[in-house]
Amino acid sequence: MFSLKNRQVLITGSTRGIGLAVARMALQYGAAVGVHGSRADSVESACQKLQMEGGTIYPCPGDLNNPENAPTVVSTFLTKAGKIDALVNCAGIGEARAFRGMTLENWRHTFQVNLESAMLATQAAYFSMREQRSGSIVSIASLSAHGPGKWMGADYAASKAGLVSLTHSLAFEAARFGVRVNAVSPGMVDTDMTAKLSDQMRASLGIPLQRFAKPEEIASAVLFLLSDAAAYITGQVLHVDGGLWMRS
């Protein structure tokens, strides 16, 4: 039930961190995978790292700082793969930014990458999935989407909250076409975005499981939602946060 054999899966933001872990695990479970990043050289590097897993890999570069490039990324994948069975919206940006210092430019840029590009990629994939009357879409949200941003800026939290709302809205519309739409909300994950946090700051977070997640632990939740094991699950947001949500 967890097999993704013969599935064509596009993962945005898959040259590093959570996205790269999702791509690697999807290949291990039999999927053909579209690897996306903003730069062609970073995509090529990620594809080389993933080649040891075997399987089919499609490089799909595209700069999502301009959201209008998102449909092109999907169409590139469709041209190479022939169909799209699953989309994982993992591309995103964010930084700890005080609200008092936020500019409209900061706000708009975060929304362009985190929400607008995800919306346009999702829409392009949904058109195809709707025609074939099957598909699964999973977006990487955040614990910040469900309350105060705390560790991240208000722009990041609001953009991820929008992604959660998009998930709920599309899940309701898409269900009758056999398309499932879900999200995963990670807590603190060991990636390059969190590498600069000191041990003291990490301890102060009070994570019940007393550690950050590995990217692979987020990826396993994504793979579950993509698989037939989750065939009756749609419109849901799965928290993968070591229990941190209980302290919010």
In DSSP terms, 34 is beta-bridged to 10, 58
What is the rounded CA–CA span in Å between residue 64 and residue 102?
21
Q: Find, among 122, 111, 206, 117, the residue nearest to 167 by Cα.
A: 122
210: left (phi over 0), alpha (psi -120 to 50) or beta: left
Whether 232 sits among the annotated catalytic residues: the reply is no
Tokens of 46: 């990620």
DSSP classification of residue 114: I
- Nearest Cα neighbor of 92 from 68, 72, 117 is 117
| Cα 246 to Cα 205: distance, rounded to the nearest angstrom | 12
Q: Using an 8 Å Cβ cutoff, are 124 and 70 in contact? A: yes
* Residues 32, 54: Cα–Cα separation, whole Å: 10
Task: State the Cα–Cα distance between residues 221 and 238, nearest whole angstrom.
Answer: 8
Catalytic residue among 29, 126, 156, 232: 156
Grouping H, G, I as helix, E, B as strand and the rest as coil, residue 230 is helix
DSSP 115: I
Which residues are part of the catalytic machinery? Answer: 156
